[in-house]
Amino acid sequence: SRTQTKTIIASLQNELQSTIYENAKLGTQLFKKVSDQKDNTHDTSENTKFAKQPIVENLPKLGESHALSKPVTSNSVSTPQESKV
């Protein structure tokens, strides 16, 4: 039971890291699109509420694992396909 709990925790931590990474990637794409739109419209106003600096700096390294005692295989993480844009 304890081993099962550890496995579930490790899997959830792995899924969380994947979600954080995906979120950072999407945030970066959004920032880029907003920046591109701003460039295209030649709008000099500062009413966009997005970060002034690119979010890329905050992206976790792909191999980075936080508090994982052992590697979790990627097939244990479910990725919902219907949410893809």
Query: Could you report the per-residue pLDDT of 15-74, keeping only the tens digit for each?
Result: 999 999 999 999 999 999 998 887 776 555 555 555 555 555 555 555 555 555 455 555
Q: Residue 17: what pLDDT?
A: 97
- What does pTM read for this prediction? 0.44
Whole-number Å distance between alpha carbons of 71 and 64: 11
Q: Residue 83: what pLDDT?
A: 47
Instruction: Answer yes or no: is pLDDT of 6 > 80.
Output: yes
Whole-number Å distance between alpha carbons of 59 and 56: 5
Q: Residue 31: what pLDDT?
A: 94
Token pair 């694992």: residue: 65
